Structure 1
């Protein structure tokens, strides 16, 4: 019945000096939840229902109250990131779908078969276009799923971060496959000539793509480490029963 316990201490919001070391409000919320759950697992089960002598609230209820603002910031942050990624994914879907029907060199007027169908580069072109289309479609579906999520507290532990990682990974895969498709198309159309034009075009086209990956890739790595890396405690703590 007392609030003088480890669990009630863990329900307080961490100081900004500690939170500022974590990228983004969503990962900050995840870390706060991880800390609370770790502490909760080390105390006797009956203590989970103990109530604060002042507010008559359990530690879990106080955690929700103390982290309400951070929860709102985490939701807004995740929605903002996912909206931009959804737009990028949708653009790639549109481009790759159009590319599938406008193959380099065109089609044979009599048979309708692509002119360069016997070339190895053309097969790479088709495979990479298909990979990009499938990957970008997958990422858009996942990001839309995140946008319409209910954003409950427990979702920030693993559900939302895992979806975000899958979405970012498939988006990166779509971008890489798109660049391979673009490179193959240039080489096929120029018949292997003017290699300097091909190289220059690929480099210029890679600048905005590389910039997007450079900005988002650290988020993917940090999310993976935060979600599936070592726990808050350096050693395993045996739960009380």
Structure 2
């Protein structure tokens, strides 16, 4: 095959290297490029069928790295480079995106195309790290093991740098009011998906964004409440007493923060925890937290119905589903606990090896394995009985809103804990009994089987129910204390100057508007739109 044969195209304008770029076999692409150095840039006039673009769309990092090294992208048009940049962000190849951004030489009018890459980054809550540079050990480990362990940290740091540099390029020679129409949608998008790192970068660059009210969505904290993004909402605790002013602002339809939390969130946000009962608890925690920060006049306002009554009405179906889920779970677990108690109770009187006919003392009483057997059997009996009582208390609960807040999750966590301990105790008693019966056997495989077989149900229980366990224990012991609190993230960089800018934005506003005037203009805009 002569080198010119590799330049042949199909009807769709695709070369053979285009198809090779979609595979994971870098060697094929290397051999093709060795035969024809011009192949990576064919066809130059259609970025959609360029081999590098095909590799980026598939997300194969090794192939992208190689093709980028042999493709002279600096001769491509700016519009084509923007498409490559967007593709790398879509497939999380942020290090390559930084290299493409270095190559971009845009005229002032062309910089508007950089808003779309920023919008893509705003929709990637797990893609952006909290630091612009990886640590020394991450860089060393990444170079030693080819990025197998620290690749995610490296990519997050690259994404952080990418956001910083895009904002810097877009903000050159422009004031805040000029950029505001483009910045507002970014704030809304990031707050919707919980992209707190993106928001922190934005606020550090433009502190006045804290006070900006979108005509439809309100402030970024209103968006966070509506979409139940607690990590975004927790930024409000970092601005101190100024949060009271933010809590007095409104979203479209004259909705305060309290109105937004009264509504049910979307199903994807509701299902971040398992079970309707735990979902109801999370909703109650949200409502209580918003009640604390909004003005008292909102809590006891002039509405026909108090906010709490509206909350109960909108969450009536979830409350009913939570009661049904809790009852079904308690019934199932109590059945298992009752079976364990039924099994281990008679075992205490029918011990392995039997009893001495004359004295009635167990034959293996003096052995260590008998002590293990009897102790674990007693533990299984006591904890299974306790589990039955705890689940019985769940079944007889009143199922009011307050019960879902603390009492029911705590009882469910304790009930599951005692149930698991009783299961483990029963299996240990089984192992001890097997060793007593096979005491005379010295065969190692038999001993291994005796120990290994009971480990299977324990492992299965943990693997199949770990997510439910995690949600239950988090809801029972951590949610009320750790769900809403300051993370001290916003002021890590230049804290004094940033705090002063935010305070000045509250007192004078970037456009001389107080929070009350912002509400008024927002409401007028909404009414005129209607």
Contact preservation (8 Å) 2:431, 2:454 = no
Distance 1:172 1:51, change over 3 A: farther
1:210-225 paired onto structure 2 within 5 Å: 210-225=459-474
**1:118 to 1:157, Cα distance in 2 relative to 1, 3 A:** same
Q: Show the counterpart of 2:257.
A: 6
Are 1:22 and 1:28, in contact at CA under 8 Å, matched by a contact in 2? Answer: yes
Question: Does residue 29 of structure 1 match 2:277?
Answer: no
TM-score, normalization by structure 2: 0.42
CA separation in 2, counterparts of 1:19 and 1:74? 12
The separation in 1 between residues aligned to 2:448 and 2:312, in whole angstroms, is 54
Matches within 5 A, 1:164-179: 164-179=412-427
Quote the offset at 1:233 in angstroms.
Answer: 2.7
Aligned to 1:38: 289
Higher relative contact order (CA 8 A, sep 6+): 1
Secondary structure of 2:293's match? coil
After TM superposition, give the deviation of residue 206 of structure 1 in Å: 4.3
Partner of 2:409: 161
Stretch of structure 1 that moved more, 43-52 or 20-29: 43-52
Cα contact 2:334–2:388 (8 A) shared by 1 = yes
Q: CA deviation at 1:198?
A: 4.6
The two structures have a TM-score, normalised by structure 1, of: 0.88
1:121 aligns to what?
369
Give the structure 2 partner of residue 49 of structure 1.
Answer: 300
Cα separation, 2, equivalents of 1:216 and 1:148: 25
Are the counterparts in 2 of residues 165 and 224 from structure 1 also a CA contact under 8 Å?
yes
Distance in 1 (CA, whole Å) between partners of 2:351 and 2:466 is 31
Q: How many aligned positions are there?
A: 232
**How far apart, CA to CA, are the structure 2 residues paired with 1:80 and 1:51?**
41
The answer to whether the aligner puts 1:59 opposite 2:59 as a matched pair is no
Q: Which residue of 2 aligns with 1:239?
A: none
Q: Tell me if 1:79 matches 2:327.
A: yes
Structure 2 Cα separation of the partners of residues 16 and 74 of structure 1: 15
Shift of 1:129: 0.5
CA positional deviation for 1:108: 0.5
Secondary structure in structure 1 of the residue aligned to 2:320: helix
Structure 2: runs of 5+ lacking an equivalent? 1-249, 488-530
Query: Does the Cα contact within 8 Å between 1:29 and 1:74 map onto a contact in 2?
Result: yes
Do the aligned residues in 1 keep the contact of 2:413 with 2:476 (CA within 8 Å)?
A: no
Q: Where do 5+ consecutive residues of structure 1 fail to align?
A: 237-241
CA distance in 1, matches of 2:440, 2:416: 34
> For residues 137-156 of structure 1, what are the structure 2 equivalents within 5 Å?
137-156=385-404
- Structure of greater Rg: 2
- Specify whether residues 131 and 233 from structure 1 end up closer, same or farther in structure 2 by C-alpha distance, changes over 3 A only: same
Structure 2 counterpart SS, 1:115: coil
Distance 1:217 1:93 in 2: 24
CA distance change for structure 1 residues 40 and 116 in 2, over 3 Å: closer, same or farther?
Answer: same
Instruction: Identify which range, 188-197 or 131-140, moves more after superposition.
Output: 188-197
* Deviation by residue 1:151-196 (Cα, 9 ceiling, x = unmatched): 1111111100000010000111111111110000000011151443
Distance in 2 between residues matched to 1:77 and 1:231, nearest whole Å: 25
SS state at 1:111 partner: coil
